[in-house]
């Protein structure tokens, strides 16, 4: 990956607590299980390597004791690495002077904690401006910048209140605003929403995604909640016993788990909220060019054994769809153009449509549901059997397809095509 796209890089990180840490790293590198290191030695993070791209939300998730909280503290130097390196914006955080590390924390990497970590004697606006104060920003400027951020996170009108006067959700907004005001390259969030009630937690997740869309921050988010990880993460690193066992998009993690542990971990995830049309679509085969003509269209449908086909323009933009019986009638009457039987109500969906939103369009569609890219080009189709299989996480062969109109008998199609050819009904044969 191009270094210009990398906000943070971790390579071969180990964190061992206790005696003989260096020897423990060597043993772990040789394959010694961490539970055989001895009672006085704890390996919290083992050989962790990953890259975080500019502007993405990178989620590290795992159960308690998996090492995720230790890992995030290594990324800003709160825990020194026993081995390995961390780079932020190309600059190493490991093995540098305490003075330089403090400077990097102030300007390049900030953190939002689970329990807010607000200064109780300071007002909201002064808490938000605290990071700027540490950076040496003049008071007028830092207050002005802090006010802009408090508005972004929905705290306007509360600037002069103290933390004790705020709800838990509002206190967490203050913590988030303080980190945003510092305007660092990377934002670390350690179980930032875990202490909140479920409704407030979802509200904060939505707020984070809105802020990300507006500000494009680089965020590393720690959570033990799989649904939270799937909801907010661009990519997810799954940890177990100190090791990262899989890194991938939510879709990758859900549909291609790396091992039995990950598979069991994701089995209760609501797939309808994670998977999209793009993740379950198939290559479209029953597709004809708008200028192909009835005979070419009917031949395609005969070969594919389908009762209809999508019609597209030269750039694959969708025009509509045709039914075999309508096209059959055109061929029989010697009509050379498909346009009179093209139906425009194709009902196709966008690639990013959530699985949960595909069921009604699929039921209403006469053909396998079409999938369009941002330029309205037909890039895939979703048969109902595929949709049902994706919902259950099962192979398509294990799911019986929903009833569909039967295609016309091949013998009947052949007779009409032969008659058309015999009458010299030549037309373009182009089909996609």
Indicate whether 226 and 252 sit together in one domain: yes
Indicate whether 329 and 402 sit together in one domain: yes
Indicate whether 214 and 331 sit together in one domain: no
- Stretch 306-325: mean pLDDT, rounded? 92
Q: Is the pLDDT of residue 402 over 50?
A: no
- Stretch 117-127: mean pLDDT, rounded? 87
Indicate whether 305 and 192 sit together in one domain: no
Indicate whether 253 and 217 sit together in one domain: yes
Q: Which two tokens stand for residue 133?
A: 């104060």
Task: State residue 53's pLDDT score.
Answer: 94
Name which residue leads in pLDDT, 154 or 369.
369
Q: Mean of the per-residue pLDDT values for the chain?
A: 84
| Within-domain flag for 122 | no
Name which residue leads in pLDDT, 240 or 423.
240
- Stretch 379-395: mean pLDDT, rounded? 77
Indicate whether 202 and 299 sit together in one domain: no
| Within-domain flag for 144 | no
Indicate whether 348 and 286 sit together in one domain: yes
What CA–CA distance (Å, rounded) separates 45 from 234?
A: 23
| Within-domain flag for 190 | yes
Q: Which of 194, 190, 196, 145 is nearest to 166 (CA)?
A: 196
Q: Is the pLDDT of residue 282 over 60?
A: yes
| Within-domain flag for 134 | no
CATH number at residue 102: 3.40.50.300
Task: State residue 403's pLDDT score.
Answer: 46
Strands 91-92 and 109-112: unpaired
Indicate whether 98 and 226 sit together in one domain: yes
Strands 6-18 and 186-190: unpaired
What CA–CA distance (Å, rounded) separates 105 from 76?
A: 7
User: Where residue 407 falls among pLDDT bands split at 50, 70, 90?
Assistant: low
Task: State residue 13's pLDDT score.
Answer: 95
Q: For the chain, how big is the Rg over CA atoms in Å?
A: 29
* Segments of 151-270 assigned E as strands: 186-190, 218-223, 235-240, 243-248
Q: Which residues pair with 247 in a beta bridge?
A: 237
| Within-domain flag for 259 | yes
Task: State residue 428's pLDDT score.
Answer: 44
Total domains in the chain come to 2
Single out the residue in 226, 244, 269 at which a domain terminates. Answer: 269
| Within-domain flag for 297 | yes
* Segments of 205-304 assigned E as strands: 218-223, 235-240, 243-248, 287-289
Q: Is the pLDDT of residue 133 over 50?
A: yes
Q: Which residues pair with 86 in a beta bridge?
A: 10
Task: State residue 103's pLDDT score.
Answer: 83
Indicate whether 84 and 190 sit together in one domain: yes
Q: Does pTM top 0.85 for this prediction?
A: no
pLDDT in tens, 140-170: 888 988 888 888 888 888 889 898 888 888 8
Kind plus residue range of the DSSP H or E element containing 310: strand 308-312
Indicate whether 220 and 312 sit together in one domain: no
| Within-domain flag for 188 | yes
- Stretch 261-266: mean pLDDT, rounded? 86
pLDDT in tens, 197-236: 777 788 888 888 888 888 888 999 999 888 889 889 999 9
Indicate whether 209 and 287 sit together in one domain: no
Single out the residue in 234, 269, 304 at which a domain terminates. Answer: 269
Name which residue leads in pLDDT, 290 or 194.
290
Single out the residue in 269, 287, 318 at which a domain terminates. Answer: 269
Name which residue leads in pLDDT, 294 or 37.
294
Indicate whether 396 and 283 sit together in one domain: yes
| Within-domain flag for 120 | no
Q: Is the pLDDT of residue 33 over 80?
A: yes
Q: Which of 130, 128, 79 is nearest to 101 (CA)?
A: 79
Q: Is the pLDDT of residue 195 over 50?
A: yes
Range of the structural domain that residue 21 is part of: 3-108+184-269
């Amino acid at each position: 990956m191009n270094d210009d796209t990398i906000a943070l890089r971790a390579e071969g990180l180990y964190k061992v607590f206790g005696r003989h840490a260096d020897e423990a790293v060597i043993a772990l590198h040789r394959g010694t299980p961490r539970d055989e290191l001895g009672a006085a030695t704890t390996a919290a993070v083992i050989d962790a390597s990953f890259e975080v791209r500019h502007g993405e939300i990178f989620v590290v998730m795992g159960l308690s004791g998996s090492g995720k909280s230790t890992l995030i503290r290594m990324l800003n130097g709160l825990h020194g690495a026993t081995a390995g390196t961390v780079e932020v914006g190309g600059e190493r955080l490991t093995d540098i002077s305490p003075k330089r590390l403090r400077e990097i924390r102030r300007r390049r990497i900030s953190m939002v904690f689970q329990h807010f970590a607000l200064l109780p004697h300071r007002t909201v606006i002064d808490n938000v401006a605290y990071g700027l104060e540490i950076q040496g920003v003049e008071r007028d400027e830092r207050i002005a910048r802090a006010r802009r951020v408090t508005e972004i996170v929905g705290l306007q009108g509360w600037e002069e209140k103290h933390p004790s006067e705020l709800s838990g959700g509002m206190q967490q907004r203050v913590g988030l605003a303080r980190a945003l005001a510092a305007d660092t390259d990377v934002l670390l969030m350690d179980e930032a929403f875990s202490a909140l009630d479920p409704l407030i937690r979802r509200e904060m997740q939505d707020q984070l995604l809105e802020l990300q869309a507006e500000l494009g921050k680089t965020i590393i988010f720690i959570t033990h909640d799989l649904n939270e990880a799937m909801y907010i993460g661009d990519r997810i690193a799954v940890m177990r016993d100190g090791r990262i066992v899989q890194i991938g998009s939510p879709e990758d993690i859900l549909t291609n788990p790396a091992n039995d542990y990950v598979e069991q971990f994701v089995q209760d995830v609501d797939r309808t909220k994670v998977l999209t049309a793009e993740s379950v679509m198939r290559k479209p085969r029953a597709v004809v060019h708008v200028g192909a003509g009835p005979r070419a269209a009917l031949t395609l449908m005969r070969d594919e054994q389908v009762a209809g086909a999508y019609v597209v323009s030269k750039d694959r933009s969708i025009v509509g769809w045709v039914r075999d019986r309508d096209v059959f009638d055109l061929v029989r009457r010697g009509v050379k153009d498909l346009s009179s039987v093209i139906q425009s109500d194709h009902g196709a969906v966008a690639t990013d449509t959530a699985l949960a939103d595909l069921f009604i369009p699929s039921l209403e569609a006469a053909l396998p549901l079409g999938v369009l890219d941002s330029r309205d080009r037909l890039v895939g189709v979703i048969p109902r059997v595929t949709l049902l299989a994706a919902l259950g996480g099962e192979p398509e062969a294990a799911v019986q397809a929903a009833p569909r109109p039967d295609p016309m008998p091949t013998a009947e199609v052949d007779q009409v095509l032969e008659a058309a050819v015999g009458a010299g009904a030549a037309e373009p044969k182009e089909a996609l």
